């Protein structure tokens, strides 16, 4: 009789689901799965150097390939090292299937070696999680978890598998039947809107004089970029984006006025502030966008198109919620008779031209990148000033071309996520824009560039400081620069060399031209770009304040 | 603030109670009491959760819980629903107080479930008003222990 182990079931089920790549790190409680991987065909495993690297890579993979990212770690410390990455994906609604090993069922709950209650730990930051107690449920659970991760509003799902279940064997034919059996239909996140709400939409729209459309990450998740673009073309209303929605529109779109929020562009925030109708699609009124609740878009009626009913009225009370699949809803609105005489209103916003920079700094570097980057590129950032500079100044051309940790703001995200993005998109050119602080949080992942020959370009915006925190201390804490100056940093080029990656320093603005050659080349490369820590990101609206408190700049 | 009550039906799996309590914990929302037991059909758990919440919080609890994968049904109870709680009270008695207590118990249609030489365990079920009223009266006796189950509720009529 042919038999199959639990470990092999995991791999066969992943393959059956269409998974091609997984990111992981081995350990005692997943040895059986790694053993099964040793000569398994059809799954490529990428060995991170820290579990946090593995989960961020899976996240970058998911964000840029539009399929769930998969990662694997051992029990206890392996599993807890995933927590930051799971939370990062949860905050931005990114589909992940996270598989952890667990101590054998007979050791559960006894503070056994490398035991952690990862189910308890990750409950608040996963859509669901499972402790597998019965090998016959393993295929179903994995299938359900995978599908659940991308269902409705996507997010991470964790499956914890005790070692004895990985080792247990069952009859192969029985497994085959389980594998091919359909799982029960998942029925969360239903469309709940009714026709009269679409009519109400029309009424509000046609009676408005100053409408604005806000697009969020839900537009990307909900696969309705085409529909929102059509909506704007038809109605000619101004459109702005959240951080997670960057790439849906770009600089060439006449009606697009950029990112809103704390570091949003003044014109974009002004549009939200002055409008009389705010149509929000796939966004959740994060406090970094809303600021002072009582003063957020004070004169507008608000329409909220959203798949997750729990987001309705959570942060901001809206006048018309429309709960359901944004693509369906937008299609219906496109069939309505809608006004399109908003030309004068749109024209009242003129976009700021980017000033000519004489210095080597974040903006001049991004200006140079704008000359180089086209649709072949994917840009991943870490978290801090460089991230906000990039969000403001980089002309992102296409959806899914930009990848950043928004809701969680996770430092250390950029490098591993870029690795995931490159694995997911071998034909794209991936560049990672990192701060000198955040790079040091997961710099060990550099070795993957050499090991797997991943030609990722790592650009360090090296300002010798934890810039974003320094900026806050400067503006709001009397320049008391407590623990933010990185007066000693590693030699990043040497560090790259030690990881078999070539690199160089750029120390003045004239050498920025070098980036053209560097980015065209097909090898991994690190560029340490020297900047002064004097440069702050403007505009900034202080936390909890409103548009009228915008601080414009130096 | 008035007490609000919700009905929650979940799949009967290990850890589901944890997921519910985590949802409250994460948002700093207090639970006044919670009753849970096997539901009907048997593969579900039925819970009644009570708290002193404003309407916003009640709504958040409902929509957030609804998202949990194992939650099958959730709603808030109206004031007209049937609400019941069971209370056990252990009282130290002498011959005089024993008589008085039995009289009160009779009026409230409670019953004695354990008789000792110097103690009684009494049981009473009822709606909140009745239980509160009863407990107020027995507080004049020498109470040794009180065990309340928390409120269990059901909607009147044919609907759930
Ligand atoms: C894991 C983590 N720890 C701390 C922070 C707080 N934080 C936000 S931005 C920032 C500074 C980032 O510095 P750097 O990486 O050098 O980038 P820069 O702001 O200078 O561009 C810090 C410490 C964070 N976001 N994530």
DSSP per position, B82-132: EEEEEEEEEEE--HHHHHHHHHHHHHTT-EEEEE-SSEEEEEEEE-HHHHH
Comma-separated ranges of CATH 3.30.70.260 domains in chain B: 4-76
- Dihedral pair phi/psi, residue A510, rounded to 5°: -65, -35
| B4-76 to CATH, choices 3.30.70.260, 3.40.220.10, 3.40.80.10, 3.30.450.40 | 3.30.70.260
Active site residue A113: yes
Looking at the complex, does the CB of residue B127 fall below 8 Å from at least one CB of chain A? no
Q: Does residue A391 have its Cβ closer than 6 Å to ligand 1?
A: no
- Using DSSP bridges, classify how beta strands B142-148 and B82-92 pair: parallel, antiparallel or unpaired: antiparallel
The pairing of beta strand A44-47 with beta strand A457-462: unpaired
- CA dihedral sign, ordered B47, B49, B54, B56: negative
pLDDT score, position A278? 98
C-alpha A254/C-alpha A342 separation (Å) is 13
Q: Among the options A20, A47, A114, A200, which is catalytic?
A: A114
Q: What angle do CA B142, B145, B147 make, to 5 degrees?
A: 135
Cα(A411) to ligand 1 centroid in Å equals 6
What is the structure's pLDDT at A553? 73
CA–CA separation, A139 and B94 (whole Å): 65
Residue A459 Cβ inside 6 Å of ligand 1? The answer reads: no
pLDDT score for B14? 86
Among B118, B120, B140, B136, CA closest to B128:
B136
Closest-CA residue to B6 (of B154, B128, B148, B149): B154
Least Cα distance to B36 among B128, B153, B157, B129 occurs for: B153
Report the phi/psi class of residue A26: left, alpha or beta, with left for phi > 0 and alpha for psi in -120 to 50. beta
Residue from B21, B55, B67 whose CB has the most chain A CBs within 10 Å, to mutate: B67
Per-residue pLDDT, A353: 66
Q: Quick one: pLDDT at residue B1?
A: 84
Separation CA A330–CA A332 (nearest Å): 5
Q: Judge if the upstream peptide bond of residue A443 is cis by omega within 30 degrees of 0.
A: no
Q: Report the C-alpha gap between A104 and A96 in whole angstroms.
A: 24
The domain A362-530 belongs to what CATH superfamily? Thiamin diphosphate (ThDP)-binding fold, Pyr/PP domains (3.40.50.970)
With contact defined as beta carbons under 8 Å apart, do A37 and A67 qualify? no
A-to-B residue pairs, Cβ atoms closer than 8 angstroms: 37
Whether A15 and chain B come into contact, CB under 8 Å, resolves to no
Residue A325 CB neighbour total at 10 angstroms? 18
A404 lines ligand 1 (CB under 6 A): no
- A127 at interface of B, judged by CB pairs closer than 8 A: yes
Domain boundaries, chain A: 3-180, 195-347, 362-530
Q: Pinpoint the residues of chain B covered by CATH 3.30.70.1150.
A: 82-154
Please tell me whether the overall predicted TM-score, pTM, comes out greater than 0.90 for this model: yes
Region B24-40: what's the mean pLDDT? 94
The response to whether residue A466 sits with its C-beta less than 6 Å from ligand 1 reads: yes
Q: Testing the interface with B: which of A93, A123, A315 to mutate, by most B Cβ within 10 A?
A: A123
pLDDT at A352: 67
Tokens of A1: 């009789």
Indicate the residue of B19, B56, B67 with minimum beta-carbon distance to A188.
B67
The answer to whether A51 is a known catalytic residue is yes
Q: How far is A128 from chain B, CA to nearest CA, in Å?
A: 6
Residue that the structure tokens 């004239």 belong to: A510
ipTM: 0.90
C-beta neighbour count of A542 within 10 angstroms:
15
Residue A243 C-alpha, separation from nearest chain B C-alpha, in angstroms: 24
**DSSP string computed for A161-211:** EEHHHHH-EEEHHHHHHHHHSPPPPP--S-----HHHHHHHHHHHHT-SSE
Of B26, B56, B60, the CB nearest to A124: B26
Mean pLDDT of chain B: 95
Nearest chain B residue to A187 by CA: give it.
B69
Q: Report CA-CA distances (Å) from B47 to A418, B55, B77.
A: 45, 20, 12
Tell me the per-residue pLDDT of B108-127, one tens digit each, with 9 for 90 and over: 999 999 999 999 999 999 99
User: A195-347: CATH homologous superfamily?
Assistant: TPP-binding domain (3.40.50.1220)
Does residue A158 contact residue A130 with C-beta atoms inside 8 Å? yes
Contact of B57 with B63, CB cutoff 8 Å: no
Burial class (CB in 10 A: 0-12, 13-18, 19+), A105: middle
- Rounded to whole angstroms, the Cα distance separating A436 from A530 reads 10
pLDDT in tens, chain A (554 residues): 899 999 999 999 999 999 999 999 999 999 999 999 999 999 999 999 999 999 999 999 999 999 999 999 999 999 999 999 999 999 999 999 999 999 999 999 999 999 999 999 999 999 999 999 999 999 999 999 999 999 999 999 999 999 999 999 999 999 999 999 998 889 899 999 999 999 999 999 999 999 999 999 999 999 999 999 999 999 999 999 999 999 999 999 999 999 999 999 999 999 999 999 999 999 999 999 999 999 999 999 999 999 999 999 999 999 999 999 999 999 999 999 999 999 999 998 877 666 678 899 999 999 999 999 999 999 999 999 999 999 999 999 999 999 999 999 999 999 999 999 999 999 999 999 999 999 999 999 999 999 999 999 999 999 999 999 999 999 999 999 999 999 999 999 999 999 999 999 999 999 999 999 999 999 999 999 999 999 999 999 999 999 999 998 75
Using the beta-carbon criterion (under 8 Å), do A188 and B63 form an inter-chain contact? no
* Structure tokens that stand for B14 in this block: 């290990």
- The CATH number of the structural domain formed by B82-154 is 3.30.70.1150
- How many angstroms away from the CA of B36 is the closest CA of chain A? 20
Contacts of A123 in chain B (CB under 8 A): 18-19, 22
The CA-CA-CA angle for residues A183, A188, A193, to 5°, reads 135
Comparing CB atoms, the residue among B18, B23, B60 nearest residue A314 is B60
Residues 1-20 of B with CB under 8 A from A: 14-15, 18-19
Alpha-carbon distance A409 to B133, whole Å? 54
The one-character DSSP state at A285 is: -
Q: Where are the beta strands (DSSP E) in A25-179?
A: 44-47, 69-73, 96-102, 128-131, 156-162, 169-171
A183: closest CA among A136, A140, A133? A140
Strands (E), A49-126: 69-73, 96-102
Which CATH number among 3.40.50.970, 3.90.1150.10, 3.10.20.30, 3.40.50.300 corresponds to the domain A3-180? Answer: 3.40.50.970
Distance of CA A368 to the CA centre of its chain: 24
* CATH topology identical between A195-347 and A362-530: yes
pLDDT at B160: 85
- Give the closest residue to A121 by CA, choosing from A84, A162, A72, A68: A84
**What percent of chain B shows pLDDT beyond 70?**
100
Residue A163 bears catalytic tag? yes
């Amino acid at each position: 009789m042919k038999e199959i182990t639990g470990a092999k079931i995991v791999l066969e089920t992943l393959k059956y689901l269409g998974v091609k790549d997984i990111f992981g790190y081995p350990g005692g409680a997943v040895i059986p799965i790694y053993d099964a991987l040793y000569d398994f065909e059809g799954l490529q495993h990428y060995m991170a150097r820290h579990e946090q690297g593995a989960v961020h890579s899976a996240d970058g993979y998911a964000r840029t390939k539009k399929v769930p990212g998969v990662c694997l770690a051992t029990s206890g410390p392996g599993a807890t090292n995933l927590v930051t990455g799971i939370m990062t994906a949860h905050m931005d609604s990114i589909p992940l299937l996270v598989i952890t090993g667990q101590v054998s069922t007979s050791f559960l709950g006894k503070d056994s070696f490398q035991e952690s209650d990862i189910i308890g730990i990750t409950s608040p930051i996963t859509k669901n999680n499972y402790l597998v107690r019965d090998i016959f449920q393993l295929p179903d659970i994995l299938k359900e978890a995978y599908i659940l991760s991308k269902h409705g509003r996507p997010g991470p799902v964790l499956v914890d598998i005790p070692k004895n279940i990985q080792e247990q064997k069952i009859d192969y034919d029985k497994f085959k039947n389980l594998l091919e059996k359909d799982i029960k239909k998942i029925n969360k996140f239903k469309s709940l809107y009714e026709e009269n709400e679409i009519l109400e939409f029309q009424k509000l729209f046609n009676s408005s004089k100053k409408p604005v459309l806000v697009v969020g990450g839900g537009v990307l998740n909900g696969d309705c970029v085409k529909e929102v673009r059509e909506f704007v073309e038809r109605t000619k209303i101004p459109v702005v984006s959240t951080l997670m929605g960057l790439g849906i529109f770009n600089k060439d779109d006449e009606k697009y006025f950029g990112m809103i929020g704390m570091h949003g562009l003044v014109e974009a925030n002004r549009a939200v502030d002055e409008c009389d109708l705010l149509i929000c699609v796939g966004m959740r009124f994060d406090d970094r966008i809303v600021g002072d609740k009582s003063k957020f878009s004070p004169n507008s009626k608000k329409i909220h198109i959203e798949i997750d009913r729990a987001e309705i009225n959570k942060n901001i009370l809206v006048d018309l919620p429309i709960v359901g699949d944004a693509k369906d809803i937008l299609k219906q609105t496109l069939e309505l008779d809608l006004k399109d005489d908003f030309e004068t209103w749109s024209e009242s916003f003129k976009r700021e031209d980017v000033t000519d920079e004489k210095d080597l700094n974040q903006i001049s570097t991004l200006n140079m990148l704008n000359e180089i980057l086209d649709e072949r590129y994917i840009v991943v950032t870490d978290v801090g000033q460089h991230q906000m500079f990039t969000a403001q100044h980089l002309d992102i051309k296409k959806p899914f071309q930009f990848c950043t940790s928004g809701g969680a703001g996770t430092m250390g995200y950029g490098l591993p996520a870029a690795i995931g993005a490159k694995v997911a998109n071998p034909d794209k050119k991936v560049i990672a824009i990192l701060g000198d602080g955040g790079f040091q949080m997961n710099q060990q992942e550099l070795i993957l560039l050499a090991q797997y020959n991943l030609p990722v370009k790592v650009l360090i915006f090296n300002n010798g400081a934890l810039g974003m925190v320094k900026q806050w201390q400067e503006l709001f804490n009397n320049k008391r620069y407590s623990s933010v100056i990185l007066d000693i940093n590693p030699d990043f080029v040497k560090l790259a060399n030690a990881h078999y990656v070539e690199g160089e320093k750029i120390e003045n603005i004239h050498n920025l031209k070098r980036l053209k050659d560097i980015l065209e080349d097909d090898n991994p490369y690190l560029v340490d770009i020297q900047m002064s820590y004097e440069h702050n990101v403007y505009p900034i609206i202080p936390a909890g304040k409103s548009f009228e408190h915008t601080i414009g700049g130096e | 603030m008035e007490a609000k009550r919700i009905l929650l039906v979940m799949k009967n799996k290990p850890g589901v109670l944890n997921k519910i309590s985590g949802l409250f914990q994460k948002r700093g929302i207090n639970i006044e009491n919670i009753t849970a037991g096997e539901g009907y059909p048997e593969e579900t758990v039925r819970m009644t959760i009570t708290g002193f919440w404003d309407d916003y919080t009640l709504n958040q609890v409902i929509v957030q819980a609804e998202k949990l994968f194992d939650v099958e049904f959730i709603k808030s109870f109206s004031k007209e629903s049937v609400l019941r709680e069971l209370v056990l009270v252990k009282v130290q008695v002498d011959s005089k107080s024993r008589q008085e207590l039995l009289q009160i118990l009779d009026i409230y249609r409670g019953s004695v479930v354990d008789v000792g030489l110097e103690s009684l365990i009494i049981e009473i079920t009822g709606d909140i008003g009745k239980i509160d009223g009863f407990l107020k009266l027995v507080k004049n006796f020498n109470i040794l222990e009180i065990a309340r189950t928390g409120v269990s509720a059901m909607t009147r009529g044919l609907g759930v």
